[in-house]
Copies of this chain bind each other. A is one copy, B any other.
Amino acid sequence: MSDVARLAGVSKMTVSRVLAGHSVAPATRERVQQAIDELGYVADAAAGALSSGRSEFVAVLVPSLASSNFSDTVRGLSAALEPHGLQLLIGDTDYHLDREENLVRSMLRHQPRCIALTGSRHTEATRTLLRRAGVPVVEMWDFPSDPIDAAVGFSNVNAAREMVRYLAGRGHQRIGFIGGASELDRRGLDRLKGFRMEMKALGLDAGRVIRLGDSPITMSHGGPAMAALLEAWPDTQAVMCVSDMSAFGAIMECHRRGIKVPDDIAVAGFGNFEVAACCMPSITTISVDAYGIGLRTGAALLAALEAYEQGVVRHAGKRIRVDYEVVTRESA
Protein backbone atom coordinates (compact mmCIF):
# COMPACT_ATOMS: atom_id res chain seq x y z
CA MET A 1 0.00 0.00 0.00
CA SER A 2 2.92 2.30 0.71
CA ASP A 3 4.19 1.61 -2.77
CA VAL A 4 0.87 2.54 -4.29
CA ALA A 5 0.68 5.68 -2.16
CA ARG A 6 4.17 6.73 -3.19
CA LEU A 7 3.49 6.12 -6.88
CA ALA A 8 0.25 8.08 -6.70
CA GLY A 9 1.83 10.81 -4.63
CA VAL A 10 -0.65 10.48 -1.78
CA SER A 11 -0.70 8.97 1.69
CA LYS A 12 -1.59 5.39 2.55
CA MET A 13 -4.83 6.64 4.02
CA THR A 14 -6.01 7.95 0.70
CA VAL A 15 -5.27 4.65 -0.93
CA SER A 16 -7.23 2.94 1.79
CA ARG A 17 -10.16 5.28 1.17
CA VAL A 18 -10.13 4.63 -2.54
CA LEU A 19 -10.21 0.90 -1.89
CA ALA A 20 -13.04 1.22 0.61
CA GLY A 21 -15.02 3.46 -1.70
CA HIS A 22 -14.97 6.39 0.69
CA SER A 23 -15.10 9.96 -0.50
CA VAL A 24 -11.97 11.00 -2.33
CA ALA A 25 -11.54 13.72 -4.93
CA PRO A 26 -12.19 12.21 -8.39
CA ALA A 27 -8.80 13.24 -9.73
CA THR A 28 -7.00 11.74 -6.74
CA ARG A 29 -9.05 8.55 -6.97
CA GLU A 30 -8.11 8.26 -10.63
CA ARG A 31 -4.42 8.58 -9.91
CA VAL A 32 -4.56 6.07 -7.08
CA GLN A 33 -6.50 3.59 -9.19
CA GLN A 34 -3.87 3.86 -11.89
CA ALA A 35 -1.11 3.18 -9.41
CA ILE A 36 -3.01 0.17 -8.11
CA ASP A 37 -3.45 -1.26 -11.58
CA GLU A 38 0.13 -0.57 -12.53
CA LEU A 39 1.51 -2.35 -9.50
CA GLY A 40 -1.10 -5.10 -9.50
CA TYR A 41 -1.66 -4.31 -5.89
CA VAL A 42 -4.02 -6.57 -3.93
CA ALA A 43 -4.96 -5.44 -0.43
CA ASP A 44 -4.30 -7.87 2.39
CA ALA A 45 -7.61 -8.92 3.91
CA ALA A 46 -5.97 -10.27 7.06
CA ALA A 47 -4.42 -6.91 7.86
CA GLY A 48 -7.70 -5.20 7.17
CA ALA A 49 -9.59 -7.58 9.40
CA LEU A 50 -7.08 -7.19 12.19
CA SER A 51 -7.14 -3.45 11.99
CA SER A 52 -10.85 -2.95 11.67
CA GLY A 53 -11.78 -5.77 14.00
CA ARG A 54 -14.18 -7.28 11.50
CA SER A 55 -13.63 -9.95 8.93
CA GLU A 56 -15.70 -10.53 5.83
CA PHE A 57 -16.21 -14.21 6.51
CA VAL A 58 -19.41 -16.10 6.97
CA ALA A 59 -18.99 -19.63 8.31
CA VAL A 60 -21.29 -22.21 6.71
CA LEU A 61 -21.56 -25.81 7.83
CA VAL A 62 -23.41 -28.45 5.87
CA PRO A 63 -23.57 -32.22 6.41
CA SER A 64 -22.46 -32.92 2.87
CA LEU A 65 -21.52 -30.95 -0.18
CA ALA A 66 -22.34 -33.95 -2.33
CA SER A 67 -26.06 -33.65 -1.69
CA SER A 68 -27.73 -31.33 -4.15
CA ASN A 69 -29.98 -30.19 -1.34
CA PHE A 70 -27.12 -28.68 0.57
CA SER A 71 -25.11 -27.51 -2.37
CA ASP A 72 -28.21 -25.62 -3.48
CA THR A 73 -28.51 -24.08 -0.06
CA VAL A 74 -24.87 -23.01 -0.25
CA ARG A 75 -25.51 -21.45 -3.64
CA GLY A 76 -28.42 -19.54 -2.18
CA LEU A 77 -26.30 -18.30 0.69
CA SER A 78 -23.60 -17.29 -1.69
CA ALA A 79 -26.06 -15.40 -3.87
CA ALA A 80 -27.42 -13.54 -0.86
CA LEU A 81 -24.12 -12.71 0.80
CA GLU A 82 -21.49 -12.22 -1.89
CA PRO A 83 -23.03 -8.97 -3.15
CA HIS A 84 -22.37 -7.63 0.33
CA GLY A 85 -18.71 -8.45 0.07
CA LEU A 86 -18.92 -11.45 2.34
CA GLN A 87 -16.89 -14.61 1.79
CA LEU A 88 -18.28 -18.03 2.60
CA LEU A 89 -16.10 -20.31 4.66
CA ILE A 90 -17.66 -23.64 3.80
CA GLY A 91 -17.28 -26.75 5.92
CA ASP A 92 -18.51 -30.27 5.25
CA THR A 93 -19.30 -32.06 8.50
CA ASP A 94 -19.94 -35.39 6.83
CA TYR A 95 -22.96 -35.70 9.16
CA HIS A 96 -20.76 -35.95 12.25
CA LEU A 97 -21.44 -33.64 15.15
CA ASP A 98 -17.89 -33.89 16.42
CA ARG A 99 -16.58 -32.94 13.01
CA GLU A 100 -18.96 -30.03 13.13
CA GLU A 101 -17.48 -29.04 16.47
CA ASN A 102 -13.95 -29.12 15.10
CA LEU A 103 -14.94 -27.12 12.06
CA VAL A 104 -16.70 -24.51 14.17
CA ARG A 105 -13.60 -24.25 16.32
CA SER A 106 -11.29 -23.78 13.39
CA MET A 107 -13.61 -21.36 11.63
CA LEU A 108 -14.03 -19.27 14.73
CA ARG A 109 -10.33 -18.51 14.52
CA HIS A 110 -11.14 -16.44 11.47
CA GLN A 111 -13.63 -14.35 13.43
CA PRO A 112 -16.57 -14.88 11.09
CA ARG A 113 -19.20 -12.17 11.09
CA CYS A 114 -21.92 -14.76 11.37
CA ILE A 115 -22.50 -18.49 11.20
CA ALA A 116 -24.96 -20.76 9.41
CA LEU A 117 -25.20 -24.39 10.40
CA THR A 118 -27.42 -27.27 9.42
CA GLY A 119 -29.83 -28.86 11.82
CA SER A 120 -30.51 -28.18 15.45
CA ARG A 121 -28.45 -30.93 17.04
CA HIS A 122 -24.97 -29.92 18.09
CA THR A 123 -22.52 -30.96 20.73
CA GLU A 124 -22.55 -29.05 23.98
CA ALA A 125 -19.07 -27.74 23.14
CA THR A 126 -20.33 -26.44 19.81
CA ARG A 127 -23.11 -24.57 21.56
CA THR A 128 -20.67 -23.06 24.00
CA LEU A 129 -18.32 -22.00 21.24
CA LEU A 130 -21.18 -20.45 19.33
CA ARG A 131 -22.47 -18.61 22.34
CA ARG A 132 -19.06 -17.25 23.18
CA ALA A 133 -18.44 -16.18 19.61
CA GLY A 134 -21.10 -13.55 20.07
CA VAL A 135 -22.13 -13.40 16.43
CA PRO A 136 -25.44 -14.15 14.73
CA VAL A 137 -26.12 -17.84 14.25
CA VAL A 138 -28.75 -19.38 11.98
CA GLU A 139 -29.69 -23.04 12.02
CA MET A 140 -30.99 -24.31 8.69
CA TRP A 141 -33.17 -27.20 7.52
CA ASP A 142 -35.02 -27.66 10.74
CA PHE A 143 -37.61 -25.83 12.79
CA PRO A 144 -36.45 -26.28 16.37
CA SER A 145 -38.52 -25.14 19.29
CA ASP A 146 -35.44 -23.65 20.93
CA PRO A 147 -33.03 -22.36 18.30
CA ILE A 148 -29.62 -21.15 19.45
CA ASP A 149 -30.35 -17.84 17.85
CA ALA A 150 -32.42 -17.91 14.64
CA ALA A 151 -33.59 -20.76 12.43
CA VAL A 152 -34.66 -21.12 8.80
CA GLY A 153 -36.34 -24.35 7.83
CA PHE A 154 -39.28 -26.62 8.32
CA SER A 155 -40.35 -29.55 10.44
CA ASN A 156 -39.17 -32.78 8.84
CA VAL A 157 -41.50 -34.61 11.20
CA ASN A 158 -44.53 -32.77 9.94
CA ALA A 159 -43.49 -33.03 6.30
CA ALA A 160 -43.23 -36.81 6.66
CA ARG A 161 -46.62 -36.90 8.33
CA GLU A 162 -48.12 -35.05 5.43
CA MET A 163 -46.73 -37.60 3.02
CA VAL A 164 -48.21 -40.42 5.07
CA ARG A 165 -51.57 -38.69 4.98
CA TYR A 166 -51.26 -38.33 1.24
CA LEU A 167 -50.52 -42.03 0.78
CA ALA A 168 -53.30 -43.05 3.14
CA GLY A 169 -55.63 -40.70 1.29
CA ARG A 170 -54.89 -42.66 -1.88
CA GLY A 171 -56.31 -45.70 -0.16
CA HIS A 172 -53.07 -47.33 1.01
CA GLN A 173 -53.04 -48.90 4.44
CA ARG A 174 -50.02 -51.19 4.53
CA ILE A 175 -47.34 -48.55 4.16
CA GLY A 176 -43.63 -49.13 4.65
CA PHE A 177 -40.69 -46.82 5.27
CA ILE A 178 -37.17 -47.00 3.89
CA GLY A 179 -34.34 -45.08 5.50
CA GLY A 180 -30.74 -45.23 6.64
CA ALA A 181 -29.49 -47.35 9.53
CA SER A 182 -27.21 -44.89 11.28
CA GLU A 183 -28.20 -42.20 13.71
CA LEU A 184 -26.21 -39.52 11.94
CA ASP A 185 -28.82 -38.06 9.65
CA ARG A 186 -31.09 -36.24 12.05
CA ARG A 187 -33.45 -35.03 9.36
CA GLY A 188 -33.81 -38.59 8.12
CA LEU A 189 -34.61 -39.70 11.65
CA ASP A 190 -37.18 -36.95 11.97
CA ARG A 191 -38.87 -38.17 8.82
CA LEU A 192 -39.01 -41.66 10.26
CA LYS A 193 -40.44 -40.25 13.44
CA GLY A 194 -43.09 -38.41 11.47
CA PHE A 195 -43.93 -41.60 9.59
CA ARG A 196 -44.42 -43.53 12.81
CA MET A 197 -46.45 -40.79 14.46
CA GLU A 198 -48.85 -40.37 11.60
CA MET A 199 -49.25 -44.08 10.96
CA LYS A 200 -50.20 -44.54 14.58
CA ALA A 201 -52.51 -41.55 14.48
CA LEU A 202 -54.27 -43.17 11.53
CA GLY A 203 -54.49 -46.48 13.32
CA LEU A 204 -52.17 -48.15 10.82
CA ASP A 205 -49.21 -50.47 11.36
CA ALA A 206 -46.14 -48.30 11.88
CA GLY A 207 -43.77 -51.24 12.01
CA ARG A 208 -42.91 -51.76 8.38
CA VAL A 209 -39.59 -49.98 8.59
CA ILE A 210 -36.40 -50.98 6.83
CA ARG A 211 -33.26 -49.21 7.88
CA LEU A 212 -30.28 -50.09 5.81
CA GLY A 213 -26.93 -48.55 4.93
CA ASP A 214 -25.15 -45.55 6.37
CA SER A 215 -27.26 -42.43 6.37
CA PRO A 216 -27.90 -40.66 4.23
CA ILE A 217 -28.74 -43.57 2.01
CA THR A 218 -28.30 -43.09 -1.68
CA MET A 219 -29.57 -44.64 -4.87
CA SER A 220 -27.66 -47.83 -4.45
CA HIS A 221 -29.21 -48.57 -1.06
CA GLY A 222 -32.75 -48.15 -2.29
CA GLY A 223 -32.77 -51.44 -4.17
CA PRO A 224 -31.63 -53.72 -1.34
CA ALA A 225 -33.90 -51.87 1.07
CA MET A 226 -36.90 -52.44 -1.17
CA ALA A 227 -35.92 -56.08 -1.50
CA ALA A 228 -35.79 -56.43 2.26
CA LEU A 229 -39.10 -54.71 2.68
CA LEU A 230 -40.82 -56.98 0.15
CA GLU A 231 -39.35 -60.00 1.81
CA ALA A 232 -40.51 -59.01 5.27
CA TRP A 233 -43.92 -57.69 4.26
CA PRO A 234 -44.84 -58.90 0.76
CA ASP A 235 -48.29 -57.37 0.89
CA THR A 236 -47.03 -53.81 1.27
CA GLN A 237 -49.07 -51.36 -0.76
CA ALA A 238 -46.97 -48.24 -0.54
CA VAL A 239 -43.46 -47.24 0.49
CA MET A 240 -42.29 -43.91 1.73
CA CYS A 241 -38.57 -43.34 1.26
CA VAL A 242 -36.41 -41.00 3.29
CA SER A 243 -35.24 -39.32 0.08
CA ASP A 244 -35.72 -39.38 -3.67
CA MET A 245 -32.37 -41.10 -4.01
CA SER A 246 -33.49 -44.18 -2.15
CA ALA A 247 -36.92 -43.99 -3.80
CA PHE A 248 -35.24 -44.15 -7.18
CA GLY A 249 -33.21 -47.19 -6.17
CA ALA A 250 -36.35 -48.81 -4.79
CA ILE A 251 -38.26 -48.22 -8.01
CA MET A 252 -35.42 -49.71 -10.06
CA GLU A 253 -35.57 -52.80 -7.86
CA CYS A 254 -39.29 -53.06 -8.56
CA HIS A 255 -38.56 -52.88 -12.29
CA ARG A 256 -36.09 -55.71 -11.95
CA ARG A 257 -38.67 -57.82 -10.19
CA GLY A 258 -41.44 -57.05 -12.63
CA ILE A 259 -43.38 -55.22 -9.96
CA LYS A 260 -45.30 -52.29 -11.39
CA VAL A 261 -45.05 -48.87 -9.77
CA PRO A 262 -47.52 -47.53 -8.77
CA ASP A 263 -50.02 -50.26 -9.75
CA ASP A 264 -48.52 -53.04 -7.66
CA ILE A 265 -46.85 -50.80 -5.14
CA ALA A 266 -46.68 -47.04 -4.71
CA VAL A 267 -43.35 -45.37 -3.94
CA ALA A 268 -42.83 -41.86 -2.61
CA GLY A 269 -39.63 -39.92 -2.08
CA PHE A 270 -38.55 -36.76 -0.31
CA GLY A 271 -36.69 -33.69 -1.49
CA ASN A 272 -37.73 -33.27 -5.10
CA PHE A 273 -34.30 -33.96 -6.54
CA GLU A 274 -33.88 -33.65 -10.28
CA VAL A 275 -34.10 -37.40 -10.81
CA ALA A 276 -37.59 -37.46 -9.32
CA ALA A 277 -38.99 -35.42 -12.18
CA CYS A 278 -37.07 -37.20 -14.92
CA CYS A 279 -37.28 -40.88 -14.13
CA MET A 280 -40.00 -43.32 -15.06
CA PRO A 281 -42.30 -43.43 -13.37
CA SER A 282 -41.68 -39.92 -12.11
CA ILE A 283 -41.55 -39.79 -8.33
CA THR A 284 -44.15 -38.33 -6.01
CA THR A 285 -42.20 -36.45 -3.39
CA ILE A 286 -42.01 -33.60 -0.91
CA SER A 287 -40.60 -30.53 -2.55
CA VAL A 288 -38.41 -28.22 -0.49
CA ASP A 289 -36.85 -25.03 -1.75
CA ALA A 290 -33.22 -25.72 -0.84
CA TYR A 291 -31.89 -22.69 -2.70
CA GLY A 292 -34.52 -20.58 -0.96
CA ILE A 293 -33.36 -21.79 2.44
CA GLY A 294 -29.93 -20.47 1.51
CA LEU A 295 -31.29 -17.16 0.28
CA ARG A 296 -33.45 -16.63 3.33
CA THR A 297 -30.71 -17.66 5.71
CA GLY A 298 -28.48 -15.13 3.98
CA ALA A 299 -31.13 -12.45 4.37
CA ALA A 300 -31.63 -13.33 8.03
CA LEU A 301 -27.90 -13.14 8.61
CA LEU A 302 -27.67 -9.74 6.94
CA ALA A 303 -30.54 -8.46 9.03
CA ALA A 304 -28.92 -9.76 12.19
CA LEU A 305 -25.63 -8.14 11.20
CA GLU A 306 -27.41 -4.84 10.78
CA ALA A 307 -29.07 -5.23 14.15
CA TYR A 308 -25.75 -6.07 15.77
CA GLU A 309 -24.21 -2.86 14.49
CA GLN A 310 -26.95 -1.05 16.33
CA GLY A 311 -26.36 -2.96 19.50
CA VAL A 312 -29.13 -5.55 19.43
CA VAL A 313 -27.57 -8.75 20.59
CA ARG A 314 -29.94 -11.66 19.99
CA HIS A 315 -32.62 -12.65 17.57
CA ALA A 316 -34.44 -14.06 20.54
CA GLY A 317 -35.22 -17.29 18.78
CA LYS A 318 -36.64 -15.90 15.58
CA ARG A 319 -37.76 -18.73 13.33
CA ILE A 320 -38.45 -18.48 9.62
CA ARG A 321 -40.68 -21.19 8.26
CA VAL A 322 -39.94 -22.52 4.79
CA ASP A 323 -42.79 -24.12 2.88
CA TYR A 324 -42.82 -27.64 1.52
CA GLU A 325 -45.46 -29.45 -0.46
CA VAL A 326 -46.39 -32.86 -1.72
CA VAL A 327 -45.64 -32.98 -5.44
CA THR A 328 -47.91 -35.54 -7.00
CA ARG A 329 -46.34 -37.51 -9.82
CA GLU A 330 -46.68 -40.99 -11.24
CA SER A 331 -45.08 -43.19 -8.62
CA ALA A 332 -47.65 -42.75 -5.87
Contacts and interface: CB of A to CB of B under 8 A. Distances in A.
A126 to B, nearest CB: 13
A65 B71 contact: yes
Copies in the complex: 2
Contacts of A66: 68, 71-72, 75
A249 B128 CA distance: 48
A218 interface: yes
Interface in A58-92: 65-66, 68, 71-72, 74-75, 78, 87-90, 92
A40 B132 contact: yes
Given A72-B66, A109-B45, A252 B280 contact: yes
Label chain A's interface by main secondary structure.
helix
Contacts of A74: 65, 92
A111 B223 CA distance: 48
Contacts of A92: 74-75, 78
Nearest to A245: B274
A127 interface: no
Nearest to A41: B132
A255 interface: yes
Interface string A275-297: 10111100000000000000000
Given A65-B65, A66-B72, 9 more contacts: A44-B109, A44-B111, A45-B46, A46-B50, A90-B90, A220-B277, A249-B278, A252-B278, A256-B280
Nearest 10 pairs of A and B residues by beta carbon: A45-B109, A219-B278, A46-B49, A65-B71, A46-B46, A66-B71, A46-B50, A45-B110, A40-B132, A90-B90
